Structure 1
Amino acid sequence: MSIVKSGSATYKPLGKQGKGSISTETGALSNHPYGFNTRFEDGKGSNPEELIGAAHASCFTMALSLALADAGYEDGELKTTAQISLDKTDDGYEISQSALTLNAVVADITEDKFRQIAQDAKENCPVSQLLDTKITLEFKLTAQ
């Protein structure tokens, strides 16, 4: 059985002059603006890359949190940023990378053990598996 969640988008008129809005079924975003100016210029609103970044950062962080707890580490805090790279190509644009940067405070864990669990979470969180791009992970582990 699948768990199905949804997001939606509208855009009108067509082209660079168009304006759009995005919404999520939970209402976390409701008719939030996006468009050419929010993606390629400094317009107010969102864009697909920051939404992918938020999705990837949250998925990876949750996967890592659960994996650490399963390994017996329950005291700590994780904060992740995912920088999504959008590059111009001869054929248009492509998302070339998701760079995860993690600041972690985890009690009583070695750096080697943390690296092993974090790399596994990076490779196996559902959003990492969905993205067909290079995914990097840098972390700073602070002893508690």
Structure 2
Amino acid sequence: MKSLMLAVACACLWGSAAQAQTPPPTPADGKTLFAKNCAACHLANGRGIPGAFPALVASPVAIGPADEAAEVLLKGRGGMPDFSASLNDADIAAVLTYARSSWGNRAPPIAGAEIAMRRAALQVAPAGDSRFGNKH
């Protein structure tokens, strides 16, 4: 009986140690987020579909002022839905940074803090908790 109790205690301690060593969540991956949320319309190569979905390659919005690009994702524009509820500030920053630095685009990265400031200025509610969740 003592050996059984000792085995259970060791298993519990080992389990606690394994849980303590669980790595923190990884930062948002802009390429993955783009593939999940944007590529269906803007295509994986960022060239869009002429007459339906604009290209992001050399796009004045994609590579222009950070607050304008953020506003498009937070509020939507034209036929594009908003992603304010399904992507958090770090996710929006990651996907915008990916688009701004891919396919020959050379715009500076956007930080999550910039998205948070724009979200507050636009009075847009914070995103939900679903990671990689997209209502669109």
Question: Does TM-score exceed 0.5, indicating one fold?
Answer: no
TM-score of the pair, normalised by structure 1: 0.28
More strand by share: 1
